[in-house]
Amino acid sequence: MLQPRATAQCVAVGTFLPERRLTNAELSARVDTSDEWIISRTGIRERRLVEPGTPCSVIAIAAGHDCLRNAGVGAETLDGIIVATITGDQRMPATANVVQHALGATKAWGYDLLNACNGFLAALTTAASMIEAGRAKRILIIGADVMSSIIDHHDRNTCILFGDGAGAVLMEAGPGDAAVGVRGWEMHSDGAGANELIVPCTGSAPALPGQKPVVYQNGRTVFAHAVRRMAEVAEHCLTSQGLAGSDVDLIIPHQANIRIIEATAERLHVPMSQVVVNIDRVGNTTAATLPLALAQAAADGRLVTGTRILLVAFGGGFTWGACYLQWGRSA
Ligand code: ACO
């Protein structure tokens, strides 16, 4: 295998979660659902919500600050910032520019990356490729979504699933032969599923009569594809590198539904004790699920230098992917 010029290393994580908790009991008072149904079908008990009107940049900046603080690194040393989101502040400018200014990342470029629930993985693999190619030394990747701004709060098919939140990971260049860093990844798309999970009326395509700019989802179809694709890509990402589930310390899956997460773990023969789950407390935060789960692992003392991690995600598009890496900064 060609040795990269540099290794792309994930060296720190930071988060922001709003204070406000929305419980299943509150939702049951608003729409025809129940705590029992939501827990048994999704694994979600509560999610966090920002104050209405809070722009995505606010939570992205907070997560970015937290990450840089945890890394002990100044914003002025960043080469670039990628914000993965489907709920950016505006259509123009990219939210990453707002974040860049607020953080004081004076020499960093910034742009947004839109790939739904697979957005954070897309940001990570993009940043890793730039770092490995020697084009950047330090990139802050942020997954942030204010899902409450694009949810119909009276649609029980969707309002029970999503929450607001943001997470960030600092990526740095290490030596090409370092023992830690991104090892391998793969990404996929199948636009045949484009209408199964969609937020219409937000782009140049004409709206259908009665459509609003909120999440529409064909839950059963999305569920079936998510189960199949996440398990498939997780397994293939490992086997293509001569690895198996037993070579992984932690699986960090996209948090859309506990049943999808369990199916992925089962396919890899990895016990749930090695799978990071926080969907019960934060719901599906779209681009933020992976960094929030990484932060959960850090808080539990399970994320240390050398931890072998498989990240895996699936989202609207359809789009899905996986990445195998060893956490931390080389000595
Ligand atoms: N409360 C009570 N009953 C409900 C609710 C609710 N909130 N929602 C649906 N139901 C009912 C349905 O009407 C249906 O009733 P019927 O049998 O009388 O028709 C019954 O419950 C079963 O509905 P299903 O849609 O089949 O329920 P399912 O078990 O599939 O769960 C869910 C629905 C949770 C949405 C699931 O399909 C799912 O998780 N889908 C995938 C979500 C996902 O992975 N999204 C991808 C990432 S998101 C992104 O990219 C932004």
Query: Looking at ligand 1, which atom is closest to the CA of residue 86?
Result: 51
Contact call for residues 38 and 44 (beta carbons, < 8 A): yes
Q: What is the mean pLDDT of the chain?
A: 97
Nearest residue CA, atom 14 of ligand 1?
Answer: 157
Say if residues 317 and 119 touch (Cβ distance below 8 Å): no
Segments of the chain with pLDDT less than 70: 1-4
- E strands in the chain: 6-16, 20-23, 46-49, 80-84, 109-113, 138-146, 164-175, 181-189, 197-198, 216-217, 250-253, 308-315, 319-326
Which domains, from first to last, does the chain contain?
Answer: 6-175 (3.40.47.10), 181-326 (3.40.47.10)
Catalytic annotation present for 236: no
Which atom in ligand 1 lies closest to the alpha carbon of residue 219?
37
Distances (CA, A) of 42 to 3, 35, 113: 42, 10, 27
Cβ < 6 A, ligand 1 pocket: 33, 37, 41-42, 116-117, 156-157, 160, 197, 219-220, 222-223, 226, 256-257, 260, 284, 286, 314-316
What would the two tokens of residue 8 be? 């792309």
Q: What is the pLDDT of residues 235-276, one digit of tens each?
A: 999 999 999 999 999 999 999 999 999 999 999 999 999 999
Give the model confidence (pLDDT) of 176-214 as tens digits: 999 999 999 999 999 999 999 999 999 999 988 999 999
C-alpha of residue 216 to centroid of ligand 1, in Å: 12
CB 162 within 8 A of CB 286: yes
Would you state the structure tokens that stand for residue 241, as one six-digit string?
A: 């590198």
Give the pLDDT of residue 5.
82
Our measurement of the distance from residue 122's CA atom to the centroid of its chain's CA atoms, rounded to an integer in Å, reads 9
pLDDT in tens, 22-35: 999 999 999 999 99
Pick the closest to residue 147 from 43, 292, 259, 275 (CA basis).
292
Q: How far is the CA of 157 from the centre of ligand 1 (A)?
A: 6
Q: Is 65 one of the catalytic residues?
A: no
> Residue 160 Cα, ligand 1 centroid: separation in angstroms?
9
